[in-house]
Structure 1
Amino acid sequence: MLPLLSVRDLTIRFGAFEAAKKVSFDIAPGETLALVGESGSGKSVTALSILKLLPPSATLEGTIALDGQNLVSASATQLRGVRGNEVGMIFQEPMSSLNPVHTVGKQIGEILETHQGMRQTAARKRTLELLAEVGIPDPERRVDDYPHQLSGGQRQRVMIAMALANNPKLLIADEPTTALDVTVQAQILALLKKLQRQHGMAMLFITHDLTIVRKIADRVSVMTQGEVVESGPTADIFANPKHAYTQKLLAASPRGAPVLPKSASPVLVETKDLKVWFPIKRGLLRRTVGHIRAVDGVDIAIHKGETLGVVGESGSGKSSLGYALLRLIPSDGKIVILGQDIAGRSGRAMRPMRKHMQIVFQDPFGSLSPRMSVGEIVEEGLKVHMPRLNVAEREAKVVAVLNEVGLDPKAANRYPHEFSGGQRQRIAIARALVLEPDFLVLDEPTSALDISIQAQVIDLLRDVQRRRDLTYLFISHDLRVVKALAHSVVVMRNGRIVEAGPAAAIFARPRDPYTRQLMAAAFDIETTTDGLFPAEETD
């Protein structure tokens, strides 16, 4: 069978920099090829080059043949006929790709009117059909919603509807599930496979998550530093990877067991009936008409030197729980840390406690000041909480903690934008550790990282916990990461704990249906009332 898309010796340059080097691959009609690699490997720039969506500074060499037509040399008019009609594209972040000032119905309808010449009434009818096809509930009502009124999974479904509006022969999906919860991710993957069968599309699926590749791809091409280093059927690549980089990727999943805690450790952190309710205000006088119950009567206890994993989907209350424990947002109920009830303390009274309790945020780039050097960022807390230290003593502490997290102290004069994502997260961890805290809240600290960097950060957190006897509250929707780090787990849904207990017991035999659903989505398994079993192959 002749390939639908054939890429040969594709080289992409930005000035003297080669983002892709002699990349070659084929995609047959109805086939899914996964383009796999870490950030900066050249995956996305290769995909964008197919439709020539790169900036004017980019130069292309080689051929990109779609049904025999070379797109590299295609005119602007020819490309307009290909974009959306022959090739559809789903981008990584739907909120950035959808227009916030237009309804989703108008945005889908605009594609139909522009490319197929439909009248407005016919376009709206077809839009409703597309929304129903991609699983948007009650499409007649949601068609007039704006993007911000939809959940992350629903916004991605809208993006899929837009990509499928003109029945393309090839669908390019650029990290379409990276920002989604594990259950929503599973739903989107199942939807893409279903639609692919129905429409007979070929698919180029770009990802750094090898777990997804197993589920969706027929063949895999592995990229690093702009080059394809290995290609083949998915089963062969996973069973017998030949290139060292592929072997490294496959071995990079979070592994290992939590640090063995000391026996008879006291309870360090405890809450009783903790509540975080956000008022809903309406009307001219902004009267409170209700509350969003982000955390609704939660009891937890974390022993010194242990990790409590808090899991659940977006909106379940995980982050609100962590922020409430550190008194970063208002709450009701009892909060005891280091034997002290801090629930009713004022900001001034909380200040002596701050050095004992620190946080590492999800997005290291957003939480690090771009105007401060790494040394200044790490040192800042010492100036506030340890004012008696002189300059030399502060510098010594900064050097020691940078070494501890695996960063070269010589880089202390550099700025956050000069570091990779994994290195920036190490800086954020160093900033928290330099104060020698007893308790650390880790709010999705690995979700924005490549899988190999993710594994490195987990190993670092385990090593630090072992050396310092630290206590963690680890917030995540990635159960594979939680399994590698947590001693106990609480599962949250709609602000409440639906299941809690030792991590080993919950992973082996979850009891609540919601927990079982999370496990099935995360580990690609089916559940029965007797426990968890590997999923059987289905046609």
Structure 2
Amino acid sequence: MTDTPLLSVRDLSVAFRQAGADTLAVDRVSFDIAKGETLALVGESGSGKSVTALSVLKLLPYPAAHHPSGEVLFKGRDLVRATEDDMRRVRGDDITMVFQEPMTSLNPLHPIERQIGEILSLHKGLTGRAARTRTLELLDLVGIRNAESRLDAYPHQLSGGQRQRVMIAMALANEPELLIVDEPTTALDVTVQAQILKLLQELQARLGMAMLFITHDLGIVRKIADRVCVMLKGRIVEEGAVEDVFRDPRHAYTQRLLAAEPKGRPEPVPEGAPVVVEAGPVKVWFPIKRGFFQRTVDHVKAVDGVSIRVREGETVGVVGESGSGKTTLGLAILRLISSQGPIVFLGNRIDSLKANAIRPLRKTMQVVFQDPYGSLSPRMSIADIVAEGLLVQQRGLSYPERRRIVARALEDVGLDPAAMDRYPHEFSGGQRQRVAIARAMALEPQFVMLDEPTSALDMSVQAQIVDLLRELQRRRRLAYMFISHDLKVVRALANHVIVMQNGQVVEEGAAEDIFARPRTDYTRALFAAAFNLEAADAGVVRE
């Protein structure tokens, strides 16, 4: 590192103009990044982290967005006042960005080779064999196994970790001096998260580049960053070396962030609590068909002989990496996909029931999905979203009666019933997840499948949702199946834990026993990745 900053942001403000009025998203932010240094921008959703980063590359929706003040100096040159032609040369050559969600950043219609090759053609003039050779070098650099066989793959044919590696390969194609990384591990399970962080550190050391790392996860900051800036409502409220800020946080907001990890343990399940759901051994096999006649040549064994039992007032945590079969198992138990094997709900076999026969049971078994942004219809008001199940399951209710039930459900999850006529885009991520929980609770279910309900949320909001779920369970004696790769949240909620790998159970038992004394190497590797953020293997872990 040198004394002269590679990037210097000075007194930068960003405002968005709507209906003739300005809303300030970033307010007089200043920071420096030296060559080879990693600076982390942390804070909750809406704090201005990503807007600040997008300002560096002028990727905001101008002219709706504008800069009332400030400058962004890259090697002494002000990018705020640079022309669009100048910025095209800066983007990709000098500064590149890895976005949060690779599935929306990669083009679903083009194979991987074409997407990386396009960058090499535009910025380096490489085509044909030269472009293919460089593409293979990049894929090998980021740890893609059997890179040549992946060239014709489309994004949907890759795992989440592989897609993120492809995004990093594209960002490194022109060996930039500054890499901006925006929440690169939010949607990844803990082992892949650890691999991606290790990969970024190794690439940074090899290429000597600087990094601006944006995240809401302070555990990641401690692992990867040299310095940290904490943002709140568009301003930097604390800045310093990572160890100094973690050891002695000065600002009350930083102190709250550091203390926001889900805490506590679930209440014990009473002796003799009735069984709500008992299933297994459950199998969900998807056929692999080939040839002109599409004959079945093999099966993908997504769930292969898994058994589970959930009692009243109990939370059973199902953990494992992406692709381990967690969600498939949950969908099979809810009879949302076909499966083989007995499934008993409230004492009755439901695995052979037709759709019409199982419909009346839907109100007693509900699901809360992972993404609060994608699971709520943007065209429906909150009242209509929460009442949707009531229209199907309790058709005799009058409009005022439905409104009363919706109001009560919103109150139960800590939302103001007066806001029920607003739309999802008017709520934060945490509030949207509360709406999704209210939709499930409005029908007064006895069993709820929670599929990664906190993975897209900030740490402080995660803690709030965990407390909410625990309180609802205590009051209503709910049975939860909690699917997650976030083991800190599982530890705070689950009484019993099932660890899945490749469609099978590799370990299960009381949560306290599993967390204190994991028996299998796979479970130990999961815990090491979750609590230490270190990959089990040395070097670049390949996928």
For the aligned pair, the TM-score class normalised by the smaller chain equals over 0.9
Q: Displacement of 1:372 after TM fit?
A: 2.9
C-alpha change, 1:117 and 1:298, in structure 2 (3 Å) is same
Aligned to 2:520: 512
How far apart are 1:489 and its partner, in Å? 0.4
In the TM superposition, what whole-angstrom CA distance separates every residue of 1:269-314 from its partner, at most 9, and x where no partner exists?
1112111122233344443333222111111112211000001111
Please give the per-residue CA displacement for 1:94-148, whole angstroms capped at 9, x wherever unaligned.
2222223333223223323322333533232222222111111122222333323
Larger mean CA deviation between 271-280 and 230-239 belongs to 271-280
Matching residue within 228, 231, 251 for 1:243: 251
- The answer to whether residue 23 in structure 2 is matched with residue 50 in structure 1 is no
Bigger drift between 366-375 and 36-45 goes to 366-375
Q: Percent of aligned positions with the same letter in both sequences? A: 64
Q: Does 1:331 align with 2:306?
A: no
Matched AA of 1:59: H
Which residue does the alignment assign to 1:17? 23
Quick one: distance in 1 between partners of 2:533 and 2:95?
33
1:312 aligned residue: 320
Of 110-119 and 89-98, the range deviating more from structure 2: 110-119
Deviations 1:158-191 (A, max 9, x none): 2111211222111111111112111111000000
Aligned to 1:281: 289
Provide closer, same or farther for how the CA distance between residues 71 and 511 of structure 1 changes in structure 2, counting only shifts above 3 A: same
Match of 2:120 in 1: 112
1:518 offset after TM fit, Å? 0.8
Q: 2:11 aligned with 1:3, yes or no?
A: no
Note if 1:374 corresponds to 2:382: yes
| Contiguous gaps of at least 5 residues in structure 1 | 529-539
CA contact (8 A) 1:516 1:527 kept: no
**Deviation at residue 508 of structure 1 after TM alignment:** 1.0
| Structure 2 gap segments, 5+ residues each | 537-543
Deviates more, 1:458-467 or 1:346-355: 346-355
* SS, match of residue 342 in structure 2: strand
Mark the CA change 1:393 to 1:120 in structure 2 (over 3 Å): closer, same or farther.
Answer: closer
Q: Secondary structure at the match of 2:337?
A: coil
Partner of residue 65, structure 1:
73
Q: Is the 8 A contact 2:195 2:535 kept in 1?
A: no
TM-score, normalising length: structure 1: 0.94
- Asked whether the equivalents of residues 259 and 465 of structure 1 are also in contact (C-alpha less than 8 Å), the reply is no
Deviation at 1:469, TM superposition (A): 0.9
Distance in 1 (CA, whole Å) between partners of 2:123 and 2:403 is: 62
What are the superposed Cα offsets for residues 472-502 of structure 1, whole Å, 9 maximum, x if unpaired?
0001111111111000000111111111101
Match among 397, 410, 413 for residue 405 of structure 1: 413
Q: TM-score, normalised by structure 2?
A: 0.93
Q: Report the CA distance between 1:467 and its aligned residue.
A: 0.7
8 A contact 2:315–2:479 mirrored in 1: yes
Q: Give the match's secondary structure for 2:351.
A: coil
Instruction: Please state whether the residue corresponding to 1:413 is helix, strand or coil.
Output: coil
Partner of 1:536: none
Question: Is this contact kept in 1: 2:190–2:533, CA < 8 A?
Answer: no
Please give the residue correspondences for 1:253-402 in structure 2 after superposition, counting only pairs within 5 Å.
253-402=261-410
The CA deviation at 1:257 is 0.8
Following TM superposition, by how much is the alpha carbon of 1:391 offset from its aligned partner in structure 2, in angstroms?
A: 4.4
**Partner of residue 531, structure 1:** none
1:39 paired to 2:45: yes
Which is further off, 55-64 or 109-118? 109-118
SS at match of 1:162: helix
| Aligned with 1:75 (options 66, 69, 83) | 83
Contact persistence 2:139–2:147 (CA under 8 A): yes
- Rate the CA distance shift 1:85–1:389 in 2: closer, same or farther, 3 A: closer
With a CA cutoff of 8 Å and minimum separation of 6, indicate the structure with the bigger relative contact order: 2
Deviation sequence 1:69-115 (CA, Å, 0-9, x none): 11112223322332111112111122222223333223223323322
Structure 1 pair 249–269 and aligned structure 2 pair: CA distance change class (3 A): same
Q: How does 1:132-143 map to 2 (within 5 A)?
A: 132-143=140-151
Bigger mean CA offset, 479-488 vs 67-76: 67-76
Gap change, CA 1:126 and 1:369, over 3 Å in 2: closer
What is the one-letter code of the residue matched to 1:19? A
**Quick check: 71-80 or 428-437, which moved more?**
71-80
Superposition deviation, residue 525 in structure 1: 6.7
Aligned counterparts of 2:54 and 2:272: Cα–Cα separation in 1: 56
CA contact (8 A) 1:113 1:120 kept: no
RMSD value, Cα: 1.8
Partner of 2:169: 161
What are the within-5 Å matches in structure 2 for residues 527-538 of structure 1? Answer: none
Q: Distance in 2 between matches of 1:3 and 1:464?
A: 51
Q: Specify the code of the residue in structure 2 equivalent to 1:21.
A: D
Number of aligned residues: 528
SS at match of 1:114: helix
One of 456, 471, 481 as aligned partner of 2:464: 456
- Measured in 2, the distance between the counterparts of 1:269 and 1:309 equals 14
Equivalent runs, 1:115-134 vs 2, <5 Å: 115-134=123-142
User: 1:334-371, CA deviations, whole angstroms, 9 ceiling, x for partnerless residues?
Assistant: 11111111111122221332222111111233322333
